[in-house]
Structure 1
Amino acid sequence: MLHRLTHRQLEAFRAVIETGKVTAAAEALHTTQPSVSRMLSDLEDVAGFGLFERRGRQLFPTSEALALYEEVERSFVGLAEISRVIEDIRHFRRGSLLIAGMPALALKFLPDVIAAFTRAEPGITVSLRARSSQAVLRHLSSQQFDLGFAALDTDHPAVTRRPIFTAPMQAVLPPGHPLANKEQLEAVDFHDQPFIALGSEIITRSETDVFLASGNARPRLVAEAQLSASICELVANGAGLSIVEPVTAANFAAAGKVITRPLHPVQPFRYDLLLPALRDPSRVATRFLEMVEAQFKAVLDPG
């Protein structure tokens, strides 16, 4: 009868080499002595040479067996390392996460989440790229990034886009501004006020223009900026007032640098989650997203 090489035969061979006895090898492998003897015999048939010499109650490996053992041991050491890697991955002790995010989230919101995540999962390495929303879409389409965060009205066939959180746009005012006495601001409240606008290439700019036009408001444009954070810094320094997305507004308000007020009617702003369409999110990415969603609720819906 022809036999083929099996991993179990090599386990038995290794155990006998290390213990010197079939009975001890059987105990180590949680099997019977006859089973170990049979596996050794099968291995000798496959190898075509003898593996052990019996002297009294002990087995002594032949020189051929010792040469084979060196290679078997290297293989088992490699398997042990692979097992450790599997265990590390299972328990989030090893892995990486590559994230692209729009500046509104990448300047503070995502770093806050990443800091908490790496404290909870210290074996995971996280890389963050701050990019425009369109650039985030391009990055995710390469399938090299794990997660993307943007605000978009376009799609890409290689990217799955879905809303992750929606909250109202906010008016931002310098501390002490008279309009802070109002609970909410309407378009007419911005008429003839010094105003800092988003750059004309930003999607939200046109939505803000429509809101202001609905109340025939013509604020005095004193500056433009691409980033909500830059606008909030200008507002904090008394350059004027503005309307920005809610996360940045909340961050600056929490720092006491600006005052925020809701708009009437409400102007919703949607943050999008982008995923590579050609693969499912990893377990690490899924764990990170749970913390992102919790952070959105903490920042924008604390009640």
Structure 2
Amino acid sequence: MITHRQIEAFREVMRNGSVTAASEYLGMSQPAVSRLVRDLEAGIGFSLFSRHGSRVVPTPAAHEYWEVVERSFIGLEYLDQTAQRIRAGGTTGLSIATAPVFAATLLADSIAQLSRRITFQDLGTVQITTLPVVRQVALRRAELGINMLSHHQHEVDLIASYPVGYHAIAPADHAFAGLSEVSLHDLSDIAYIGFDEATVTGKIQGRWFSTLPHGPRYVLRSYLATVISAFVLRGFGVSVVDPWTAAHHRMAGGISRPLTGHEKMNVALIKPLGARLSTTAQALIQELGAQIESHTTA
């Protein structure tokens, strides 16, 4: 029979990377932790680690099993944290996971609008993370997620998705000021501030530009749209961003124009599988939807 202690030992070996570190965290001897892990392996019928002297390496099965274990532990930890907040007389608050591109624009604007109807005392503590969104929501570390639609979406419930157009941004005195809209071909051979190739947006734009005879000249890359906007404002080049970053770019003195001839950005609102949303989360979803829909025709 699998015991809680065996699962706890396995979890800490996975989290800490070694039996030594896990034993220190649990306050147990190394042989005791190793024995618990071996007993777990015997109970479930497959190996969790390959042994190389004193070093252990998780097997593919261990990573798959750990996902399930983490969901169970995160659920218990969330219940404990919620009980502590209620005991202290506070509200349960709201935890949100969001892609960085939406954190300082869409989400901030939506919470600002929501706070006009719901006071922060009623709203409770809002916790925001930009760690991988689908994983945070799937593990129930976040009640609500805001992300670009991805193939991992089956791990969570999709509340809604919205296609929105991208916008080209430039300094105020740029030639784009004379255009009503910008095409991909207008970006050929032009100084460009792009997203890092490891980001979803960076990969999407890389596909766009690979279809052009001459793509833009990258002079700088960043993970963050706000950083990209800052460098565009200072004359380092132009870029293509989401409509919320484009709106903030205009407020800072730059210009933006709708981008034509490209695939749209699909903004997805997600929640943990089977979860019931709090009243606060439902209110925020309505506000997010209103904010997104105001840009779907932009």
Query: In the alignment, does 2:264 pair up with 1:265?
Result: no
Query: In the alignment, does 2:272 pair up with 1:276?
Result: yes
Pick the aligned partner of 2:192 from 190, 195, 200: 195
- Alignment-mate amino acid for residue 259 of structure 1: I
> Shift in Å at residue 94 of structure 1?
5.2
> Shift in Å at residue 178 of structure 1?
1.1
Match of 1:57 in 2: none
Match of 1:129 in 2: 128
Query: In the alignment, does 2:292 pair up with 1:296?
Result: yes
Report how many aligned residue pairs link the two structures: 208
1:206-240 deviation per Cα after TM superposition (whole angstroms, max 9, x unaligned):
32223223331232211000111111111011110
Query: In the alignment, does 2:239 pair up with 1:238?
Result: no
CA distance in 2, matches of 1:214, 1:157: 30
Query: In the alignment, does 2:121 pair up with 1:138?
Result: no
CA distance in 2, matches of 1:139, 1:102: 11
> Shift in Å at residue 268 of structure 1?
0.5
CA distance in 1, matches of 2:234, 2:129: 25
Pick the aligned partner of 1:218 from 212, 215, 218: 215
Q: CA RMSD in A?
A: 2.4
Match of 1:154 in 2: 151
Which ranges of structure 1 fall in alignment gaps of 5 or more residues? Answer: 1-92
User: Residue 179 and residue 157 in structure 1: after superposition, are their counterparts in 2 closer, same or farther (change >3 A)?
Assistant: closer
- Alignment-mate amino acid for residue 150 of structure 1: N
Q: What TM-score results when the alignment is normalised by the length of structure 2?
A: 0.63
Equivalent pair of 1:174/1:259 in contact (CA under 8 Å): yes
Equivalent pair of 1:170/1:260 in contact (CA under 8 Å): yes
- Alignment-mate amino acid for residue 242 of structure 2: E
Match of 1:35 in 2: none
Equivalent pair of 2:100/2:130 in contact (CA under 8 Å): yes
Pick the aligned partner of 2:115 from 115, 118, 133: 118
> Shift in Å at residue 194 of structure 1?
0.8
CA distance in 2, matches of 1:263, 1:158: 32
CA distance in 2, matches of 1:159, 1:301: 24
User: Residue 218 and residue 117 in structure 1: after superposition, are their counterparts in 2 closer, same or farther (change >3 A)?
Assistant: closer
Pick the aligned partner of 1:173 from 170, 173, 176: 170
Secondary structure (helix, strand or coil) at the match of 1:98 reads strand
Query: In the alignment, does 2:98 pair up with 1:101?
Result: yes
1:37-61 deviation per Cα after TM superposition (whole angstroms, max 9, x unaligned):
xxxxxxxxxxxxxxxxxxxxxxxxx
Which ranges of structure 2 fall in alignment gaps of 5 or more residues? Answer: 1-89
CA distance in 1, matches of 2:116, 2:179: 41
CA distance in 2, matches of 1:268, 1:301: 10
Match of 2:18 in 1: none
Secondary structure (helix, strand or coil) at the match of 2:152 reads coil
Pick the aligned partner of 1:227 from 204, 214, 224: 224
Task: Name the structure, 1 or 2, with higher relative contact order (CA <8 Å, separation 6+).
Answer: 2
> Shift in Å at residue 279 of structure 1?
1.5
Q: What TM-score results when the alignment is normalised by the length of structure 1?
A: 0.62
**Identity rate, percent:** 23
Secondary structure (helix, strand or coil) at the match of 1:176 reads coil
Secondary structure (helix, strand or coil) at the match of 1:274 reads strand
The residue correspondences of 1:34-73 to structure 2 (distance < 5 A) are none
User: Residue 265 and residue 201 in structure 1: after superposition, are their counterparts in 2 closer, same or farther (change >3 A)?
Assistant: same
User: Residue 198 and residue 121 in structure 1: after superposition, are their counterparts in 2 closer, same or farther (change >3 A)?
Assistant: same
Secondary structure (helix, strand or coil) at the match of 1:238 reads coil
CA distance in 1, matches of 2:155, 2:210: 37
CA distance in 1, matches of 2:93, 2:283: 12
> Shift in Å at residue 129 of structure 1?
1.7
Equivalent pair of 2:134/2:155 in contact (CA under 8 Å): no
User: Residue 147 and residue 278 in structure 1: after superposition, are their counterparts in 2 closer, same or farther (change >3 A)?
Assistant: same
> Shift in Å at residue 149 of structure 1?
0.5
> Shift in Å at residue 196 of structure 1?
0.9
> Shift in Å at residue 262 of structure 1?
1.8
